[in-house]
Structure 1
C-alpha cells in the first residue's frame, strides 16, 4: 500500500467512525409538558400511595390552550382534567382527561363490549333525522342501544412491550358527546387518555387527526418516567 492509499484509508476510517459517533443513540429524558408544571407538587401529594402517574411531554389534542386540573372525586381513579378554562368545573370546559387507576371496570367493560357497526350507526342517523312520532318500536330500541356504544376498537403499540387499545364510544344524547379513548396497563396500573368528540357522524368514523393526536399523547405518556407519590 503506497502513502496516498494509506492516507485515503485513514480518512475513510475517520469518516466512518465520525458517522458512527454522530448517529449513536443519545439518551434523552423528556420532561412533562410545561402546562403540568404548576400542578406537579399537587400530583405527588394527592396521588394514592404506591401509585404513579405518567404525564405526556407534549399535548397537541386541541387548537385552544388547555389547563390541567387534579381530580380525586372519581371513585377508584386519580385523574387530571384538561379544560379549556382554568379552575372550571362546568362540563362545557371539559375537553379531555388523563387518568390512572388500580382497577378499571370502565376500561374492562369497553374492552369487551359488542361493537356497534357502521351500518347500524348510519341507520341511527337516518332515524334521528326523521320526525320522532314516525319511529317504530324497533327503531326506538336501536336508538337506545346506540347510546354509549363502542363504535371502534383497535389494538395499538405504545412502546415495546406495552400494548393499548383505542376505542371510539358513541355519545349518550345531546348532553354527552362521543369520545375517543386509549386504555393500557403499565406499572401494574390502568391508564387512560380520553378526549371529547372526535367522531364524524356523516361518515360514521373517528376523525383521523384527533385519533392520531390522542394516540400520540398516550405514546408520550407511556414513554415518560413515572411520577411517584410523595406520601
Structure 2
C-alpha cells in the first residue's frame, strides 16, 4: 500500500508538472513605447470620468513620430502624432488620436453627403485649367468640394464595437485630405486621424495608409482603458 501511495504521489507530481510546463502564458499588451514619456501627462490631464485608449503599436509612417498631449479644446482630449518633438504648429501634425464626450465633428462627417468619384474627376479637370477660364458653376463646384466626404465605410473594431472609416477631402493647399476612424466605446467618442491618404491623380484612397489607420484603431479598441489620476 505504501509503495502504491508513493507511486501515486509521484505520478500526480509528474502530471502537475507537465500541466505547469504546458500551461499557456497570458501576455498583456501595453501601449506602444512612443507613448511612455507622456503616460503620466495623459493620466494627469485627461478629464475626470473619461478614459483614453492607446494602441499597442503605431505603424503609420516611416518617419519617427512624437506624441504630444493637446488640451486646447475642452470638448476633446487629443494626442497629436507629430513629425517633430514639442511642436504646436499643425504643419508638423501627422495624425491625431482623441476621445470626446460629444463629437459634432464626427456626427457631421457621419451624415454628410458622399462626393462621388465622378465629381472629383471633374474637379481635377477644372483645376488643371487656367482659373480665368472657370465658369461660375465650375467655381461653385470647386468650393463645394472642399472638406467633403469621399468615402464612408462601416468597420468592426472588435466584437460589439462598430466604427466607421471616412475619407475627407482637403480644403486647399494648406489643408490636405485626411483619413478618419470614428467609434463609440466606454460611453465616449474615439477617433484616429491621419493627414493625406488620398491619391488625387487616380481619385482613390491609398490602401496601405487606410489599412494602417484601421489597424491602429483596432489596437486602440482592444487595449485596456487608461483612467484619469484625478
What's the TM-score, normalizing by structure 2? Answer: 0.89
Counterpart of 1:111 in 2: which secondary structure?
helix
CA 1:160–1:142: 2 relative to 1, 3 Å = same
How far has the Cα of 1:25 moved from its partner?
7.0
Match of 1:153 in 2: 152
Match of 1:200 in 2: 199
Match of 1:228 in 2: 227
Say yes or no: does 1:143 pair with 2:153. Answer: no
The separation in 2 between residues aligned to 1:64 and 1:74, in whole angstroms, is 27
How far has the Cα of 1:225 moved from its partner?
0.2
CA 1:121–1:59: 2 relative to 1, 3 Å = same
The separation in 2 between residues aligned to 1:210 and 1:56, in whole angstroms, is 16
How far has the Cα of 1:26 moved from its partner?
5.5
How far has the Cα of 1:89 moved from its partner?
1.2
Match of 1:166 in 2: 165
How far has the Cα of 1:75 moved from its partner?
3.8
Structure 2 unaligned spans of 5+: 1-17
Match of 2:112 in 1: 113
Structure 1 unaligned spans of 5+: 1-17
String of CA shifts for 1:69-108, please: whole Å, max 9, x gaps.
Answer: 0000024000000001100112221100000000000000
The separation in 2 between residues aligned to 1:29 and 1:229, in whole angstroms, is 20
The separation in 1 between residues aligned to 2:138 and 2:24, in whole angstroms, is 58
Say yes or no: does 1:129 pair with 2:128. Answer: yes
Match of 2:32 in 1: 33
The separation in 1 between residues aligned to 2:24 and 2:140, in whole angstroms, is 57
The separation in 2 between residues aligned to 1:75 and 1:228, in whole angstroms, is 17
The separation in 1 between residues aligned to 2:178 and 2:92, in whole angstroms, is 15
CA 1:28–1:128: 2 relative to 1, 3 Å = same
Match of 2:80 in 1: 81
How many residue pairs get aligned? The number is 211
RMSD: 1.4
String of CA shifts for 1:130-169, please: whole Å, max 9, x gaps.
Answer: 0001001111111011000000000000000001000000
How far has the Cα of 1:56 moved from its partner?
0.2
Counterpart of 1:92 in 2: which secondary structure?
helix
